[in-house]
Amino acid sequence: MNDLLLEARGVKRVLPGPLPVTLVQEIDLRVEAGDFLAITGPSGSGKSSLLYLLGLLDEPTEGEITLMGHETAGLSRSARARLRLSSLGFIFQFHFLLPEFTAMGNVLIPMRKLDVLSDREMQRRAEEILVGLGLQDCLKKTPDKMSGGQRQRAAIARALANNPHLILADEPTGNLDSKNARIVFDIFSGLAQQDGRAVIVVTHDLDLAARATRRVHLVDGRIVSDQPQLIAAAAQPVH
């Protein structure tokens, strides 16, 4: 059996107020090393809300989320932030690269926050990741000098900076053309095949979701199906 990286048990998230809004409920989910999981569902079904809970960006109203063996409910804010920084990599629809930094500079930011490598080791790792994603010509370019596909690959590189066990992506291809969207999903597939990682992607694109090895479908904040998928051909691993 693969290693368990993340588990949600009885998770519910309610926005308080005069008319409380339930975002997700009755969520039980296990994510293991090697999973390439697509979360799908209609608009407003709770896909992004679930991802933010799994990524420790939000806290559940009820239930428990365990990440890398750590029960997260009792963690302090700083301990949660440290666990996110060391174990998770995030990618969003908009790349959110800092415009004043080069591709290399953006990838170095999370490494410097974690502060476990020497400066030389950080430089070497950042360059290795960027070159592995085909961005060898963008190391010293700022985001405004890169194409949309290059910017999103730079955002993936930044997510990989601290060698996370889990990659979480929220509509990462929403602003890309079909060719670059396929490239991004090929990268994710390669990542899930390497080094005991797992990848969780929220997407509305069912053609791209079909390229994942597992699909979780949400309706009204509940998981209505969680099924493995056979894919036609595995993507080439990212080196």
Residue 121 resides in a domain = yes
Q: For 100-126, how does the pLDDT look when each residue is reduced to its tens digit (9 = 90+)?
A: 999 999 999 999 999 989 999 999 999
Kindly give, in sequence order, each residue whose CB lies less than 8 Å from that of residue 77, ignoring residues fewer than 6 positions away: none
Q: Of the candidates 89, 86, 57, which has an alpha carbon nearest to the alpha carbon of residue 167?
A: 89
Residue 236 resides in a domain = no
Distance CA 127, CA 111 (A): 13
Residue 161 resides in a domain = yes
Write out residues in the chain with pLDDT < 50, as ranges: 1, 232-239
Residue 22 resides in a domain = no
Which structural domain, as residue segments, surrounds residue 79? Answer: 36-58+75-215
Q: For 204-225, how does the pLDDT look when each residue is reduced to its tens digit (9 = 90+)?
A: 888 888 889 999 999 999 999 9
- What total number of domains does the chain contain? 1
Residue 237 resides in a domain = no
Question: For residue 153, what is the domain's CATH number?
Answer: 3.40.50.300
Residue 3 resides in a domain = no
How many residues would you count in the chain?
239
Determine the 3-state secondary structure of 216 from DSSP: strand
- Does the global pTM surpass 0.85? yes
**What phi and psi values does residue 234 have, to the nearest 5 degrees?**
-75, 145
